[in-house]
Amino acid sequence: MRLTKHTDYAFRVLIYLASMPADRLSTVQEIAGKFDISRSHIMKIVHKLAGAGLIQSSRGQHGGLRLG
């Protein structure tokens, strides 16, 4: 089975967030740096995952991402 890069990156984001403690928020910049993926690609993926309810996102200076 073949996966698109978009799907591969989405799985990477979900796996990364699942490996973090539940009380810790991760940032888009952190994830982009970890996997050497452009920040804009991660932003698109995070937007879709948050819309589907798979992750929770919070905005602001102390915002971030966590598994939904």
Check residue 14 and give its pLDDT: 95
Check residue 2 and give its pLDDT: 86
Q: What is the pTM of this model?
A: 0.87
Domains, the chain, ordered by start: 5-58 (1.10.10)
Give Cα 34 to chain centroid, integer Å: 11
Check residue 60 and give its pLDDT: 83
Query: Which residues make beta-bridge pairs with 57?
Result: 65
Check residue 3 and give its pLDDT: 85
Check residue 47 and give its pLDDT: 94
**What confidence tens digit (pLDDT) does each residue in 12-64 have?**
999 999 999 988 999 999 999 999 999 999 999 999 999 999 999 988 888 88
CB neighbours (10 Å) of residue 46? Answer: 20
Instruction: Establish how many alpha carbons lie within 13 A of residue 52's alpha carbon, considering only the half-sphere containing its beta carbon.
Output: 10
